[in-house]
Structure 1
Amino acid sequence: MECERVSVAGDGRHFEAVIVSPVFAGLSRVQRQQRVNAVLREHFETEALHALSMRCLTPEEFAVAFRG
């Protein structure tokens, strides 16, 4: 999936991510998370990744949310 920015913090099993991609334009919050989940599905299935909290933004939304 095309991303302009990905930042992840976590403890090895539980993670928080900010994902910035133009792919998210026009998609709902749920649709955006479904796109990311589809990419990460194999990691969830092998239990390498237990929990992921994500904030999925377009580049424009990121510029507004994180300006400064």
Structure 2
Amino acid sequence: MGMISPEQVETMIKAELPDAQVQVQDLTGGGDHLQAIVVSSQFEGKSLVKQHQLVYGALQQAMASEAIHALALKTYTPASWQATRQAV
């Protein structure tokens, strides 16, 4: 299985979380270490672990086939994302 593009990761996450804002970065340029920032109202009221499980669920096949070796994940609700943006 070849490497996966950030765009493909974004598409897979949005398939599972249609309202999500997704930013995927390739940290190494090699496609195997990605960072994803996901903002979704579906995270409301869920623990970080549950939020991450939702995203990993969307990427299960890609991760199982080792298209994604490492994914640094940051998840936010729209409100927590706004708070983060204002703190900068």
**Residue-pair matches, total:** 68
Normalised to the residue count of structure 2, the TM-score between the two structures is 0.72
Tell me the alpha carbon deviations over residues 10-55 of structure 1, each in whole angstroms, 9 at most, x when there is no partner: 1300111110000000000100000001000000011111111111
Q: Which has the higher strand share?
A: 1
- Structure 1 ranges of 4+ moved more than 2 A: none
Q: Which runs of 5+ in 2 are unaligned?
A: 1-16
Q: Using CA pairs below 8 Å that are at least 6 residues apart, which structure has the higher relative contact order?
A: 1
Cα separation, 2, equivalents of 1:3 and 1:66:
19
Please identify which structure carries the higher helix content: 2
Cα RMSD of the aligned pairs, angstroms, is 1.2
Give me the TM-score of the superposition, normalised by structure 1.
0.91
Could you tell me the percent identity over the aligned residues? 31
Q: Answer with 1 or 2: which has the greater Rg.
A: 2
